[in-house]
Amino acid sequence: MNYYLPESINEATFLMDTYGNDAVIISGGVQVTNELSKLSINPSAIIDLNKVSILKEIQELEDYICIGACVKHVEVSKSPVIHKSIVALSNAAEKLGDLQIRNMASVGGTIALSDSYGDYWSILLAAGGYVNLSSKKRERKVQLSSWLEDRFLNIKEQNEIITSIHVCKVEKSIFLKQDFPNLQSLCIAGVIKENKGRIVITGATHLPIVFSFNILNNHRYHNYFNDFHKYLVELYSHTLDEYLFHMTSILVKKAINHLNILKYRLQREKE
């Protein structure tokens, strides 16, 4: 097994093209280390991206926050740039796993793993944005809304490397997480941007539940909740057990109530 520590994206993509299916990428290393210890993978090459400095940066752009693939979750939780532009992402990072995971695991690793039940996916899909991919042949962008195909399954091609994600800035955002005995955690994120709201739930179904609505000045939170509840019944009442359906509804009601409060704060700030 060969270990490589490239210092540029071009060098990393060259190595990926050379080894193909026999290479694994490390941006944090948690998932790869677990798989190696269990002997579930036996790669010919390990390509460690942690010497590629641009992949360790968090940048504020006009409409997006760009987060490099090697940025650790603890850095996301403490970033003033992220806290200012999308505080729910900071909150999600604070609650992700334990301290060791937050210090070691990377954003790129989370995107690559594509556990649709994971904490980040609710806020990433609520805010929107895209994943940046590089290979020897090309660079491309994939919308976050198109990334997940199923739990632990995404549309990344074999020789592509995740270099960063661009997450849209929003005006207001919230993140809620609830752990249940003998159940996967439910995560709910909500955002407000340009008079539009979006709520995303992860942990209830294999793919996240997405609900979008217009923010109307004369609408109370229970109106939004009634719309969501109708949507949930129509699409998911036959796939969710009664308890999970009930708990999802309760948490969404709480999230919509929070968003309604944030909506009025936002209106006051603009006056």
SS (H, E, C) 129-179: EEEEEECCCCEEEEEHHHHEEECCEECCCCCCEEEEEEEECCCEEEEEEEE
Q: What is the pLDDT of residues 226-239, one digit of tens each?
A: 888 888 888 887 77
- Residue 183, pLDDT score: 62
Instruction: Tell me the average pLDDT across 35-39.
Output: 78
- Residue 225, pLDDT score: 76
Rounded Cα distance between 64 and 156, Å, is 22
Q: Which residues contact 132 (CB under 8 A, 6 or more apart)?
A: 139, 140, 141, 162, 163, 164, 165, 166
Tokens of residue 259, six digits: 């968003």
pTM for this one? Answer: 0.93
Instruction: Tell me the average pLDDT across 206-227.
Output: 76
- Residue 182, pLDDT score: 67
- Residue 236, pLDDT score: 83
Instruction: Tell me the average pLDDT across 142-163.
Output: 96
User: Is the per-residue pLDDT at 195 higher than 90?
Assistant: no
Tokens 């993509």, residue located = 13
Q: What is the pLDDT of residues 7-35, one digit of tens each?
A: 999 999 999 999 998 999 999 888 888 88
Query: What SS3 class is residue 21?
Result: helix
Instruction: Tell me the average pLDDT across 158-172.
Output: 96
Rounded Cα distance between 206 and 41, Å, is 25
Instruction: Tell me the average pLDDT across 97-124.
Output: 93
Percent of the chain with pLDDT over 70: 96
User: Is the per-residue pLDDT at 219 higher than 60?
Assistant: no
Mean pLDDT across the chain: 91
